[in-house]
Amino acid sequence: MIETRSMTLNMGPQHPATHGVLRLLLELDGEIIVKAVPHIGYLHRGIEKLAESMTYPQALTLTDRLDYTSGLSNNLAYCLAVEKLLDIAIPKRAQYLRVLMAELQRIAAHLLWVATHALDLGAMTVLFYAFRDRETILEMLELITGARLTPSFIRVGGLAADIPESFLPRVKEFVDDFPKRVDEYETLLTENIIWKKRTQNISPLSGEECISYGVTGSILRASGVYYDVRKAYPYSSYEDFDFEIPMGKNGDVYDRYVVRLKEMRQSNRIVRQVMERLPAGRVTADDAPQVTPPPKEEVGKDIAALIRHFKIMEQGFKTPRGEVYASIESSKGELGFYLISDGSNKPFRMKIRPPSFINLAALPKMIEGQMVADVIAAIGSIDIVLGEIDR
Amino acid sequence: MAKCTACELLRENFPEAVLAVSDFRDESTVVVDKERLRAVMTFLKESEETLYDLVIDIAGVDTGNESPRFQVVYLLHSIKFNRRLRIKIPVAEGSTLDTVSDIWKAADWMEREVYDMFGIGFTAHPDLRRILLPDDFVGHPLRKEFPLKGDDFDRPFLVCLEEEQGNQADD
């Protein structure tokens, strides 16, 4: 009789295809995965704890460092939660610009995803194409926010500043061009026989399994469940725009790829609509002087404005006692902030609902019974960002 | 005040378990007795009128000086009815909760995180280990008494290094 035994393989934390410091303990029977145990926390910075010691405007900077591929989306989710707590209304122009930035950020995040995911599976060309276009977006965002990675630009009560004049022409150029770029990625991958063999029927999840595991975002929709926060609980005027939610049906790696590519096209559609309908007006809330700092010109001339500016920067603002949950559809899934306020100027408790964390919990279910080589495809298809998982 | 079907149903079916119902910014919160946690959760998930099939998040809260000290908050969503509900369970220090990880698989990691950060145990959880912090970590950082900074936090790195090296000769 042949003696057989299972082997334990340690994948990561330093592994190019784990997209950060994720460690997987794989128990193998030959090349088949019997059991997979993810180990996380290598990037834990205690963001939820730190937030309790910071004023509301200060804690905003922490959110940039969650999912660092989409800082503006994180800013947006946090600001929506604080604004819900304060119960203040945001002017339409600011809401539209927030949508514009969030959608550009989603395209950038999806481009990063398609680049690295394809690279993991051996298709290197896509990386150069996708990074070229991602660079265009980052440059545009840099033009408004001044930063590529950690913008902190969406502020409680509106935006940090209005957009410069040169911004919209550049967006227009990009928006007109982008559908052709997506076609280019599709010619490289969608009908590519190697790509299909590596992704079709790999690590499938059914709709029920996704729901049970709490999976949200593109993975859930690739399994045929219609749930998108932008449609379910429209925020920041998403109800004003016309867009579709792409759906898959098999819930495998290939369907997730198809859904995300279609999402980029839809995001592009939204950006175009925002650009065409952008209303004039202020970008900060009018009726909330305790929250929004005065314009820079006034600060230099008016002593009262100067005092107000320093008060907000130094002490922040107090929020009413209570608790709220606000969420957005980030590029990874439902990103939510659950805030509890005790009436002071610092959050009493800030719980982040990180989509990657919860989606990653379904990874063992996805890969058990599959081959080792498919683990990389599965991890790539979840689109994890460890900054968000470990917080 | 927004109408909360689930709150009324819970009041009808579990009159002894529902401790309070509140509404803030159109979000409903039901405070439930911890002994009836599993019964209430199973009802919310399976009843035709509620169908809270997606657990959005589970959050621990350290209230500091309230009694009981901790709270575990369950955020639920129903895909069919597109409704959200918050269930809050007060937990005393040192006591444990029943797990709901067999009702929703997603609760597995979420409960581990609550355990890791607050030290609240979950009975019958299949794999209750620390999740974000290393296994040999001492303390539960999101408790209010846990310090934010170490005692050498604001001293320059070089000073710390010198102290560590003692009086070793430097050439």
Q: Domains for chain B: give ranges and CATH numbers.
A: 5-165 (3.30.460.80)
User: Which helix H or strand E contains B126, and what residues bound it?
Assistant: none
Q: How confident is the model at residue A19 (pLDDT cuts 50, 70, 90)?
A: confident
A45-63 pLDDT tens trace: 889 999 998 999 889 999 9
Size of interface A-B (CB pairs under 8 A): 93
Q: How confident is the model at residue B2 (pLDDT cuts 50, 70, 90)?
A: low
By C-alpha distance, the chain B residue nearest A326 is B27
* Mean pLDDT computed over every residue of chain B: 84
Contacts of A213 in chain B (CB under 8 A): 105-106
A121-131 pLDDT tens trace: 888 888 899 99
Whether the upstream peptide bond of residue B68 has omega within 30° of 0, thus cis, is: yes
- What pLDDT score does B171 carry? 47
Domain segments of chain A as ranges: 47-390
* Mean pLDDT computed over every residue of chain A: 89
Interface check for A351 against chain B (CB to CB < 8 A): the answer is: yes
- What pLDDT score does B167 carry? 56
Interface check for B51 against chain A (CB to CB < 8 A): the answer is: no
Residue B26 falls in which region: left (phi positive, over 0), alpha (psi -120 to 50) or beta: left
pLDDT at A78 over 90: yes
Instruction: Let me know: does A56 contact A80? Beta carbons within 8 Å.
Output: no
**Which tokens is B88 given?**
């809050």
List the single residue in B79, B109, B133 with the smallest CB-CB distance to A357.
B109
pLDDT at B37 over 90: no
pLDDT at A324 over 70: yes
pLDDT at B151 over 80: no
Instruction: Let me know: does A110 contact A249? Beta carbons within 8 Å.
Output: no
Cα gap A74→A76, rounded to integer Å: 5
Class of domain A47-390: mainly alpha
If we measure between CA atoms, which residue out of A330, A321, A386 comes closest to residue A348? A321
Q: Chain A: nearest CA to B37, how far in angstroms?
A: 18
Q: Chain A: nearest CA to B118, how far in angstroms?
A: 12
pLDDT at A337 over 90: yes
